[in-house]
């Protein structure tokens, strides 16, 4: 399944780059949105059961057209569920412009930026990461947030 999804993402991304290079921006944006939709649907299917069994969840607040959401999806979405952090805090996605799930309590106010990553412990916000700059910053901030809230997991550096 992963291989099929990765192939789909790779082909669609290559198509988007090719189309944008030829000046067909509208078709390039449509191809990029297809990548976002494919990644989102796959992540939801893979993490549905994991969310129900976990004390922690990582809520990703995103919106269509967000370049930083797209960067996160390209850089980390395929590997996140396989990491120790992803197993400890399965990813759940929500659109910035749609209602949030009823089973969560946001204590830091409605997010203003996308992506915003909200760490939930038993459905209550305990930490927040606003924006996405790079893999290094994301992993470091997520690791700090998880450990600060008592999560125990084996990282490669442990």
Q: pLDDT digit string (tens) for 36-72?
A: 554 554 445 454 555 556 799 999 999 999 999 999 9
Report pTM: 0.69
- Indicate the SS3 state at residue 155: coil
Q: Which phi and psi (to 5°) does residue 155 adopt?
A: -95, 160
Are residues 104 and 125 in contact, defined by beta-carbon separation less than 8 angstroms?
Answer: yes
Q: What is the pLDDT of residue 54?
A: 79
Going edge to edge, which strands form the sheet with 56-62?
A: 91-95, 56-62, 116-121, 124-130
Sequence-ordered list of residues with C-beta below 8 angstroms from that of 64, at least 6 positions apart, any chain: 33, 36, 95
Sequence-ordered list of residues with C-beta below 8 angstroms from that of 51, at least 6 positions apart, any chain: 57, 90, 92
Q: Stretch 84-107: mean pLDDT, rounded?
A: 96
Interatomic CA distance for residues 122 and 107, integer angstroms: 13
% pLDDT > 70, the chain: 64
């Amino acid at each position: 399944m992963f291989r099929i999804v990765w192939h789909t993402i790779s082909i669609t991304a290559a198509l988007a780059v090719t189309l944008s290079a030829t000046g067909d921006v509208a078709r390039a944006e449509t191809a990029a949105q297809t990548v976002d939709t494919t990644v989102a649907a796959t992540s939801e299917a893979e993490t549905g059961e994991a969310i129900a069994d976990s004390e922690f969840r990582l809520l990703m607040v995103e919106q269509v057209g967000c370049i930083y959401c797209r960067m996160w999806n390209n850089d980390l979405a395929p590997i996140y569920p396989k990491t120790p952090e992803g197993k400890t805090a399965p990813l759940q996605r929500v659109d910035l412009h749609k209602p949030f799930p009823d089973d969560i309590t946001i204590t830091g106010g409605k997010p203003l930026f996308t992506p915003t990553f909200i760490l939930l412990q038993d459905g209550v916000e305990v930490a927040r990461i606003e924006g996405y700059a790079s893999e290094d910053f994301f992993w470091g901030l997520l690791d700090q947030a998880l450990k600060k809230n008592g999560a125990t997991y084996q990282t490669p550096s442990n």
